[in-house]
C-alpha cells in the first residue's frame, strides 16, 4: 500500500505501523499477560499521556481480573530526551504487595522508566513488570528488563496512536515515522 503522509507542525511523517498490526501485537501481549497473571489481580499503571490508547486496547483484551491507575511522568521535550527524571504524579493507589505492570508508550533511552521503576520499588510491590508498546533498543542506556514488548523499532521519531509531536498527533489511529 502507498504510504500516507501527514504534516504535523514543521515535519512530515509517513505511515509505519498500521492500526491492525498494532492491535495484533497487543493481542499477543494480552495473551501472555492473561497466562502470567491468573489469580494475581494485577494493577496496571498507565503512564500518561502517551499510553492512553495502548492502555485502552490492551485492557480490553485482558481477561483476568485486574485494576488500572494512571500516572504522569514526563521527561521529554521536543524531539530529544532531556535526561531529567521527574516525580510520579497522581499515584493514589497503595501498590504495596501488588503485582504491578507499568504501561509505557515508548522506551527510548530508558531514563523515564528507570526513574519510575525506582520510585515504585520503594513502595514494595509484590512484583513489577513493564509492558511497552514500542522500544528503541539502539537507544537504551540502562539495562532494563522489559518483559512485554509489542514491537522493537529503529531510532526514528514516531507519532500517532497516543504519541505526540509537540502536543499534536496523538489521535492518529496508525503510527507514523518522521520523514528524514
DSSP 82-133: -------BS--S--TT-EEEEEEEEESSSHHHHHHHHHHHTT--SEEEEEEE
Cell 508498546 -> residue: 133
Nearer to ligand 5GP, 104 or 117 (CB): 104
- Cβ partners under 8 Å of residue 73, min gap 6: 47, 86, 87, 88, 89, 112, 115, 116
Task: List the catalytic residue out of 31, 57, 93, 108.
Answer: 108
**In 3D, which of 5, 57, 62, 55 has the Cα closest to residue 33?**
62
Stretch binding ligand 5GP (CB under 6 A), from 25-33, 91-99, 118-126, 162-170 = 162-170
**Total interface residues for ligand 5GP by CB under 6 A:** 20
Nearer to ligand 5GP, 37 or 175 (CB): 175
98 touches ligand 5GP (CB under 6 A): no
Can 108 be counted among the known catalytic residues?
A: yes
54 touches ligand 5GP (CB under 6 A): no
Nearer to ligand 5GP, 108 or 129 (CB): 108
Residue of the chain from 110, 128, 133, 161 that contacts ligand 5GP (CB under 6 A): 110
Residue of the chain from 44, 148, 157, 161 that contacts ligand 5GP (CB under 6 A): 157
Asked if residue 119 lies in contact with residue 100, where contact means CB atoms within 8 angstroms, the answer is no
35: exposed, middle or buried (C-beta count within 10 Å: 0-12, 13-18, 19+)? exposed
82 touches ligand 5GP (CB under 6 A): no
* Contacting residues toward ligand 5GP, per CB under 6 A: 50, 75-76, 81, 104-113, 157-159, 163-165
Active centre residues (catalytic):
108
Amino acid at each position: 500500500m502507498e504510504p500516507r503522509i501527514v504534516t504535523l507542525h514543521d515535519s512530515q511523517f509517513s505511515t509505519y505501523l498500521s492500526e491492525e498490526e498494532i492491535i495484533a501485537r497487543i493481542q499477543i501481549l494480552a495473551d501472555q499477560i492473561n497466562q502470567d497473571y491468573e489469580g494475581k489481580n494485577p494493577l496496571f499503571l498507565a503512564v500518561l499521556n502517551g499510553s492512553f490508547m495502548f492502555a485502552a486496547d490492551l485492557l480490553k483484551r485482558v481477561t483476568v481480573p485486574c485494576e488500572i491507575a494512571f500516572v504522569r511522568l514526563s521527561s521529554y521535550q521536543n524531539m530529544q530526551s532531556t535526561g531529567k527524571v521527574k516525580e510520579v504524579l497522581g499515584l493514589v493507589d497503595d501498590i504495596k504487595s501488588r503485582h504491578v505492570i507499568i504501561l509505557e508508550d515508548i522506551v527510548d533511552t530508558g531514563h523515564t522508566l528507570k526513574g519510575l521503576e525506582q520510585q515504585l520499588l520503594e513502595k514494595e510491590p509484590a512484583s513489577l513488570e513493564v509492558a511497552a508498546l514500542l522500544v528503541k533498543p539502539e537507544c537504551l542506556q540502562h539495562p532494563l528488563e522489559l518483559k512485554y514488548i509489542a514491537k522493537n523499532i529503529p531510532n526514528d521519531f514516531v507519532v500517532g496512536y497516543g504519541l505526540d509531536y509537540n502536543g499534536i498527533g496523538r489521535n492518529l489511529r496508525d503510527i507514523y515515522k518522521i520523514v528524514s
